[in-house]
């Protein structure tokens, strides 16, 4: 699951809880992708907390379990940019800048893998804007969520074929998995 949130953005659980529930669900890898711009609990944090803290806690919680914890963050802006997850980042704090393209570039300089999140949210219009075409043409978007939480975006399969993007199915979970899903959670198979 390459799109999950903790209490360090707008999620309701601690990062170690995310690790435990993913392990119980049989996942081999998760990415902590807390929002940069939306941190409603920030006033409760100590000065030691930064945009990398949730990953650091999750990595420690993993312990000796054979599981991969991927450092990431979510760049959250309005359309046409939308929401982008940056995975495999070394310092999420560097994306905390005003301009969305500067934030994306800061993550790409760290070798980030970029996923365009839930392209149909919030207006149920999956629109490939010229900005997306430009970013894809420049190799700055690598994947797209074809499934997010309980929503699917069938048109994004056309984009995957046309542009050579990788498909993702993620939970974008904010509460506990058990609260949200009665059966199984969305997940991406990686070979």
Q: pLDDT for 136-151, tens place per residue?
A: 999 999 999 999 999 9
> Is residue 40 scored above 80 in pLDDT?
no
- 91: Cβ–Cβ under 8 A, 6 or more apart, which residues? 52, 110
Q: Report the relative pairing of strands 143-148 and 151-152 from DSSP bridges.
A: antiparallel
pLDDT classification of 45: cutoffs 50, 70, 90: confident
Q: pLDDT for 70-111, tens place per residue?
A: 999 999 999 999 999 999 999 999 999 999 999 999 999 999
Q: Which of 3-7, 48-52, 81-85, 166-170 has the lowest mean pLDDT?
A: 48-52
* Neighbour tally for 20: CB within 10 Å: 16
> Is residue 54 scored above 80 in pLDDT?
yes
CA torsion, ordered 61, 67, 72, 74, to nearest 10 deg = -90
- pTM for this entry: 0.94
Helices (H) and strands (E) in the chain, counts: 6, 7
């Amino acid at each position: 699951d390459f799109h999950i949130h903790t209490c360090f953005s707008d999620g309701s659980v601690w990062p170690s809880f995310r690790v435990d529930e993913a392990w119980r669900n049989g996942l081999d890898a998760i990415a902590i992708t807390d929002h940069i711009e939306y941190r409603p609990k920030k006033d409760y944090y100590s000065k030691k907390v930064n945009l990398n803290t949730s990953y650091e806690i999750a990595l420690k919680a993993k312990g000796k379990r054979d599981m991969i914890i991927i450092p990431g963050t979510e760049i959250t802006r309005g359309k046409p940019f939308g929401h982008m997850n940056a995975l495999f980042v070394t310092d999420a704090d560097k994306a905390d800048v005003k301009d969305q393209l500067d934030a994306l570039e800061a993550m790409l300089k760290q070798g980030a893998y970029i996923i365009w999140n839930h392209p149909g949210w919030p207006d149920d219009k999956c629109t490939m804007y010229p900005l997306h075409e430009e970013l894809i043409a420049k190799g700055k978007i690598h994947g797209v969520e074809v499934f997010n939480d309980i929503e699917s975006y069938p048109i994004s399969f056309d984009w995957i074929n046309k542009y050579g993007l990788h498909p993702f199915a993620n939970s974008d979970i904010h509460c506990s998995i058990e609260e949200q899903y009665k059966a199984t959670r969305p997940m991406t198979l990686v070979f």
